[in-house]
Structure 1
Amino acid sequence: MSNRLSAARRERGWTQERLIHALREAARIHNRELPSSQSMKRRIAAWENQDKGISEQYVELLCEVYEKTPFELGLAVAAVEPVVELEAVPPFTRLDAGLVALLHDQTHNIRLMDRRLGGDAIFRQTRAHVDQIESLVRYAMPGAQREAAADALSQAAALAGWQALDNGGLDEAWQLHETAVSAARESGAAAELGYARAQQAYVLIDAGEHAAAHQLIGAARAEAASSVPAALAAWLLAAEGEALAHLGDRDGALRVLDSAADVMPDAPDDELPYVMLDAGHLARWRGNCLARLGETSAIDDLTSALLAMGEGQYGRAEVSLRVDLALAFRARGDLTEARLHARRANELAGRTGSQRQRRRIKDLLVA
C-alpha cells in the first residue's frame, strides 16, 4: 500500500524541519522523546520514499500533526510482535483420603434425602456436588486418590442422573450417566461401571427405546461378569428382567428375575451403598414387571413389598409401587382399588416431584 506522506507535507507547505518540529511538539504532549533531527530526517526520507515501514507510535504522531486518519495518509502500520500472555497455572489439586471420604459421605447423605424426599427437592444440590467433584478430579494429580475421587464422581453423577430422569429431563439424565460411566472407567471400579451403564438404560426405556435398553443392560452384565459383588449381580439381573418386561417377554423376564433371587446375598452389601436390594425390594421389582405384563399375580408381590417398605419411608419408591398396584388391580378389573392406589400415588408424586411417575398416573386416573 503506497502512502501519501509526501503529498501531505506538500499540501501543508512544510519543510522536513517544520515536520520534525511538529512531531516533537506532539511527542512532548504524549511524554515521548524523538531521536536527533538528523536521524528524523533520514526516517522521513525513508517513509516518503516507501522503503521503510512505519511503527505504530510514529503513525499516531503523523496522523495527529497532519490531522488525517491512517487511511487518508495511506499508512500501513508496521507489524507489531504480539504480546504473549502466559496462561494461568491450572488449579491443580492434591487429593487425600480424608477429602475423598468426605465426598462419599456427602453423596450418601444426599442419597438418603433423595429416598425420602425425591430428586426434585434436592437435584440442584446434587448437581452442584457433581460439578464440584468433577472439577477436583479434572485437576487432580495422578495417583490412587485421583482414582478414588473418580469413583466418588461416578456414584454422585449416577445419583444425579437418576434424579434428572425422575424429573423428566432425559437429555440431562443421559449426560450425567455419561459422566458416571467415564468416571467409573477412570477409577477402574467394575461395580460402579456396571451400575452406571445399566442405570443409563432407563433413560432409553423412558425414551421408548426398549430394545436398545435391553442391549445396554446385557452389555453391562457381560462386562461385569463375575467381577462384581453378588448384590450388584442380582441388581443387574433384575434390571434386565424389567427391560424384558417392557419388551413384552414374560418368560424371559421371569427367568432372569428368578436368577436374581438365586444370586442375591442374604445380607446387604455395605460396599454398595447405591444398591438397594433385599427380598422385599426384589419382590417389588418382580411385581413391577408382572404389572407391566398385565399379570394380576403382581398384586401379592406388590402388597407384600408395600407392607415391608413402611408407608412414608421411601417416597419415590412408594409412588412407583402404588402405580404398579394400580396397574395390577386394573388388569384384574378392580377399578375402585386401582383408582385408590393411583390417587395415593398422585399425592406422593406431588411431594416428590416425580414427573416420571406422574406420566404413568395420568393414564390410570383417566382410565
Structure 2
Amino acid sequence: MLSRLAQARADRGWKKARLLHELRAAAGRRGETLPKDESLGRRVAIWENQGGAVGGFYSDLLCEVYGRSAIELGLTEPVLPRSPDPVVPDEGTMPHFSRLDASLVGLLRGQTQNIRLLDRRLGGAAIFRQARAHVDNVEQIVRYALPGDIRDEAAAELSQAAALAGWQALDMGNLDEAWRLHETAVSAARESGDGSALAYARAQQAYVLLDGDRPADAQALIASAGRSHAPIPPSLRAWLYAAEGEASAALGDRDAAIRALDAADALLPDQVDASLPYLMLDDGHLARWRGHCLARLGEESAIAELSAALAKMGEGNYGRAEVSLRVDLALAFTARSDIAEARKQAQLASELAGQTGSARQRRRIAGLLGL
C-alpha cells in the first residue's frame, strides 16, 4: 500500500524527476537551493517508502507543490484535543464579543486587498496560507459581533476573503477546499445582504464544477447566480455573462458561448467599477476570456484575441492569468497545426506555472502536450 506521500505523487501522475523539478521551483521562489538530484532523490525515496521524517522546510515545499496540508500528506499527525475536565457551566457567562467598528472593517478590507494583489502577481500557492488564516480571523470576528450595519459590512468582507482563498485553493488543485471556502463566501454574502457579492461567489463556485468535469452543473449554477432579485451592477452582469460563455464553451455549444460573450461585451462599462474590488474585468480581460472560449472550441481565431489580450495585460503583471492565456495560445496554435509555436507557448506557460504554483494550469499543460 502506498504511503500518503507516495499516493500524492501517483495522483498527480508525476515521475520522481517531475517532483524534484517542482521542489526546486518552490525552493527557488523562496530564494533557496536544494541538493543535487541524486541526493534529493534519495531523500524522496526514504520519505515515500520508509516513512522517514520530513523536516519543516521540506514539509512546506511538499505541501506547496502538491497543494495539500501536512496532515493530508502524512507528514504530521492531527493533534487530538485533550478531553477537558468537566466543569459546571456558569449560566451568567457571556461570550467575548468582537470589538467591531468601521475602522476595523477598513483594516480587514485593506488586508484582503493586499492578499488579492499579491495573489495576482505570485499565484495562490505562495499566499494561500496567509489568505486562509485571514478568512479564519474575519470569520471569528463576524461570528462574535453584535448584529447591525457594521457586522453586515464585516460579513461582506468575509465573503470576499473566502471567495479569494477559494479561488486559490482551486488553482492549487484542491477542489474540496475550494468548494468549502466558496460555501463560506456564499453564506457570508447572504448574511450581509450584498446581492452582488452573493452572485459573484455563487458563479465563481461554478469553476469548481468545471474543473471537476461537470460543465452542465456549472452552467446551471452560473445561470442561477445571474437571476438574483437584487440589482447587479453592469460590470458584474458582464462578468456573469462571460462566465456563462465559458461554461457553454466547455459544453461545446459555440452559439451559446458567443451569444453570452457578446452580451458581456455590450454591458461592459468604460470605467472599472471601484465598488467591486474583487472583479477583474476590462476590455483586455474580456478579450482574454473570449480567446479562451474560442481556443476551447478549437478555433484558430482565438490567436488574434489572445495576442491582443496579452499585449494589453503586460507580461509579469498578472502571473496566473498570463499562464492561462499562454496555455490557451498553445491550444489555438495546435488547432492551426503550428506545433512549434504551440510548444513554445506551452513551455512559457510551464515556466510561469512553476513560479505561481498553479497545479490547475500544470494539468492543462501536461494534457495538452504531454509535458
Q: Same fold (TM over 0.5)?
A: yes
Question: Residue type of the partner of 1:202?
Answer: Y
Superposition deviation, residue 224 in structure 1: 5.3
CA offsets per residue over residues 277-298 of structure 1, 9 Å max, x none? 1110000000000000001000
Task: Give, in angstroms, the shift of residue 364 of structure 1.
Answer: 2.1
Q: Could you list the per-position Cα deviations for residues 119-175 of structure 1 after superposition, in whole angstroms to 9, with x for gaps in the alignment?
A: 100000000000000000011011100000000000000000000000000000000
1 CA distance for matches of 2:296 and 2:237?
A: 23
For residue 357 of structure 1, what is the amino acid of its counterpart?
Q
User: For residue 345 of structure 2, what is the amino acid of its counterpart?
Assistant: H
| Cα distance in 2 for residues equivalent to 1:184 and 1:269 | 19
Cα distance change of structure 1 residues 224 and 319 upon mapping to structure 2, 3 Å threshold: farther
Distance 1:108 1:174 in 2: 22
1:202 to 207, 215, 239: 207
8 Å CA contact retained: 1:194, 1:224: no
Distance 2:228 2:275 in 1: 20
Q: Deviation of residue 83 (structure 1)?
A: 6.9
Where 1:147 maps in the other structure, the secondary structure is: helix
Give the CA deviation at 1:93.
Answer: 1.2
The CA deviation string for residues 157-215 of structure 1, in whole angstroms up to 9 with x for no partner, is 00000000000000000000000000000000011000000000000000111100000
User: Match for 1:127: what amino acid?
Assistant: R
2:221 is equivalent to residue 220 of structure 1: no
Give 1:239 shift: 0.3
The 1:89–1:243 alpha-carbon spacing in structure 2 relative to 1, beyond 3 Å, is same
CA distance in structure 2 between the aligned counterparts of 1:182 and 1:139, rounded to whole angstroms: 16
Describe the SS at the equivalent of 2:235.
helix
- The residue that corresponds to 1:12 in the other structure is none
SS at structure 2 position matched to 1:269: coil
Partner residue in 2 for 1:263: 267
Aligned positions of 1:5-84 closer than 5 A: 84=88
Which one is further off, 84-93 or 334-343?
84-93
Pick from 192, 203, 214 the counterpart of residue 197 of structure 2.
192
Inter-partner Cα distance in structure 1 for 2:175 and 2:143: 25
**1:254 counterpart residue number:** 258
Provide the rounded CA distance (Å) in 1 between the counterparts of 2:283 and 2:150.
35
1:306 aligned residue: 310
Instruction: Give the structure-2-normalised TM-score.
Output: 0.75
5+ residue gaps in structure 1? Answer: 1-81
Aligned to 2:346: 342
Indicate if the aligned counterparts of 1:161 and 1:173 stay in contact, CA closer than 8 A: yes
User: CA, structure 1 residues 224+157, in 2 after alignment: closer, same or farther (shift >3 Å)?
Assistant: farther
What is the one-letter code of the residue matched to 1:144?
D
Aligned to 2:336: 332
Q: Does the alignment pair 1:244 with 2:253?
A: no
Aligned with residue 135 of structure 2, among 130, 137, 151: 130
**Counterpart of 1:309 in structure 2: which amino acid?**
M
Paired letter, 1:125 = Q
Does residue 154 in structure 1 map to residue 175 in structure 2? no
| Partner in structure 1 of residue 364 of structure 2 | 360
For 2:229 and 2:291, how far apart are their aligned partners in 1?
26
Q: Does the 8 Å CA contact 1:339/1:364 hold for their aligned counterparts?
A: no
Find the aligned partners of 2:326 and 2:98 in 1 and give their Cα distance: 47
Residue 209 (structure 2) pairs with residue 180 (structure 1): no
Q: 1:136, 1:167 → 2: CA distance?
A: 27
Q: Which residue of 2 aligns with 1:53?
A: none
Gaps of 5+ in 2: 1-85
Matched, 1:97 2:86: no
| Whole-angstrom distance in 1 between the partners of 2:89 and 2:259 | 65
Task: Give 1:144's aligned residue.
Answer: 149
Q: Which SS does the other structure have where 1:135 is aligned?
A: helix
Of the three residues 121, 126, 131, the one matched with 2:126 is 121
Cα distance in structure 2, aligned partners of 1:364 and 1:157: 31
Runs of 4+ with deviation above 4 angstroms? none
Given that 1:194 and 1:221 are in contact with CA atoms closer than 8 Å, whether structure 2 keeps it comes out as yes
1:231 corresponding residue in structure 2: 235
Quick one: distance in 1 between partners of 2:324 and 2:262?
21
Code of the residue aligned with 2:157 in structure 1: it is A
Give the paired residue count. Answer: 285
Deviations 1:28-63 (A, max 9, x none): xxxxxxxxxxxxxxxxxxxxxxxxxxxxxxxxxxxx
Give the counterpart letter for 1:128 in structure 2: A
What is the rounded CA distance, in whole Å, between the counterparts of 1:307 and 1:172 in structure 2? 34
Higher RCO (C-alpha 8 Å, min separation 6): 2
Residue identity (%): 67
Q: Report the alpha carbon displacement of residue 228 of structure 1 after superposing the two structures with TM.
A: 1.1
Residue 108 of structure 1: CA displacement?
0.4
Of structures 1 and 2, the larger Rg is shown by 1
CA deviations 1:237-267 (Å, max 9, x no partner) are 0000000000000000000100000010001
CA deviations 1:328-360 (Å, max 9, x no partner) are: 000010000000000000000000000000000
Distance 1:323 1:260 in 2: 23
Counterpart contact for 1:343–1:365, Cα < 8 Å: no
Residue 280 (str. 1) matches residue 280 (str. 2): no
**Structure 2 CA distance, aligned partners of 1:289 and 1:189?**
30
Residues 267, 224 of structure 1: alpha-carbon distance in 2 compared, 3 angstrom cutoff: farther
Secondary structure of the residue aligned to 1:114 is helix
